[in-house]
Structure 1
Amino acid sequence: MEVEPSAFRLAAGCFPTGVSIVTAEDEQGERVGVTANSFVSVSLQPPLVSVALARSLASIPVFERASHFAISVLGEGDETLAARFASRGANKWSDTLWEPGLRGAPLIEGAVATFECERYALHDGGDHRILLGRVISLASAPTLRPLIFHRGAFARLAAPLPREQRPGA
């Protein structure tokens, strides 16, 4: 029995994820970036992360060749930024505040967390390429709330219930 892609997407969308922008530079210093919700930590020792990037991306050759890349975890209120980096042909870098990481990969300013990585491995993942990176630098703003993607739309975390209002309290 074959799983229909639309049914798979619908079922996978039941799992809420964070939203990030994955960036790199090509050999001429041109920046590329794409919105991804497939970012995940993989290992603590060594510190490894992975992200799945669609083979159909115009920028996939840059990510395949880059020795370094960065992941910026977006926060609440970054929906427009996420949508811009998810769009084909958009001028993604206009009005985007960023700074170069240690190895040149762009880091989005104001992100909840940033991870600069050296490429550790690149794997086949069907219609995606799985980019595995060794984290060489990171930063986080623990007071910022992340942007969430759930069932095909951006979402926000609910405010935590006060202890006295929690079930069983």
Structure 2
Amino acid sequence: MTLQLADPRALRDAFGAFATGVTVVTAQDADGRPIGFTANSFTSVSLDPPLLLVCLAKTSRNYATMTGAKHFAVNVLSEGQKDVSNTFARPVEDRFAAVEWQAGAAGCPILGNVSAWFECATEKLVEAGDHVILMGRIEAFENSGLNGLGYARGGYFTPILASKAVSAAAEGNIELGAVLERHSEVLLIGDDVFSLPTCDGKDGSPADILRDYLEELTGLSVTIGFLYSVYEGKSDGKQHIVYRAFASEGEPRNGRFLKPDTLAKTHFKTSSTADIVARFAVESQLGNFGVYFGDETVGTVRSVPTKAAQP
């Protein structure tokens, strides 16, 4: 897609392919009250002098306060703080009442249990289209050693959770599968009886193996997303690892894209496939995805909220 043809939403989705961490940027207003917002547009700039930057939309309700503040802090959220991210991304009346925090040396709110925090003096403001770049000179910081919360393609992910699930499943006979989506439709294989695209696992990265298989199967460009289901198939003796994946434009070489919420009376190859498609249909409507752990019939879904991190 050329830039001339790109609409803002498509461009935003393309930016979202780059995985980032999640931060909450905080400061004090003129009356000494704490303010804060969720942002994933955070970047380290320099070690000497110690500089970082964060981008703020000019439409943000925090714009006037942040651009006028002499100090601000960047709190890098840990992998268990999805709720904190969502709190500061929504128009909650008193965001700070729901979190643990204390004032830093310069008065900026420092959140508890974060991966790291940086308190900065405002060094420079740089105009950047519909955003402004806040560059800060770091005056104090702390690194807790906790793993960070990840964010990409509109959803949160926790790298430690994903790696543990894959390691556990790798002890058995692995089958890799994908909920391959495009424009809210899912690729299904078959005519009268449908299945998700699957391949045997082998030595190497499961995500790379699955991507190569899907690209060969469909003739499309494929991006592997995050884990969607990890379960033991008691009927086939296999460990199943299912990822969300995203396909490029074009007609698939095999299979067809169908809307999951129209497939209630469809025949599927296995009951677990039917369950995955049905869950995906519901979660797509809610915009709130999860990761299933268990076997073919019994398990739990660990919620992974997908509210976009916005300033």
TM-score by length of 1: 0.91
Give distance in 1, aligned partners of 2:144 and 2:57: 29
1:17-166 equivalent positions in 2, closer than 5 A: 17-142=20-145, 144-157=146-159, 158-159=162-163
Q: Which has the higher contact order (CA 8 A, sep 6+)?
A: 1
Higher helix share: 2
The unaligned stretches of length 5 or more in structure 2 are 168-201, 206-311
Residue of structure 1 aligned with 2:17, choices 11, 14, 19: 14
Change over 3 Å in CA distance of 1:166–1:35 after alignment to 2: farther
User: What is the identity, as a one-letter code, of the residue corresponding to 1:57?
Assistant: S
SS in 2 for 1:10: helix
Offset, 1:58 = 1.0
SS in 2 for 1:24: strand
Offset, 1:95 = 2.1
Give distance in 2, aligned partners of 1:92 and 1:35: 11
Give distance in 2, aligned partners of 1:95 and 1:7: 34
Offset, 1:89 = 3.9
SS in 2 for 1:93: helix
Give distance in 1, aligned partners of 2:95 and 2:58: 19
Change over 3 Å in CA distance of 1:166–1:17 after alignment to 2: farther
User: What residue is the counterpart of 2:267 in the other structure?
Assistant: none
SS in 2 for 1:159: helix
Q: What per-residue deviation string (whole Å, max 9, x for no partner) do you get for residues 61-102 of structure 1?
A: 110110000000001111111001001244211121111111
Change over 3 Å in CA distance of 1:167–1:80 after alignment to 2: same
SS in 1 for 2:59: coil
Residue of structure 2 aligned with 1:5, choices 5, 8, 22: 8
Q: What per-residue deviation string (whole Å, max 9, x for no partner) do you get for residues 20-40 of structure 1?
A: 000000121011100000011
Q: Cα RMSD over matched residues?
A: 1.8
SS in 2 for 1:102: coil
Offset, 1:59 = 1.3
Change over 3 Å in CA distance of 1:64–1:123 after alignment to 2: same
TM-score by length of 2: 0.51
Give distance in 1, aligned partners of 2:48 and 2:54: 18
Offset, 1:119 = 0.3
The unaligned stretches of length 5 or more in structure 1 are none
Q: How many residue pairs end up in the alignment?
A: 165
Structure number with bigger Rg: 2
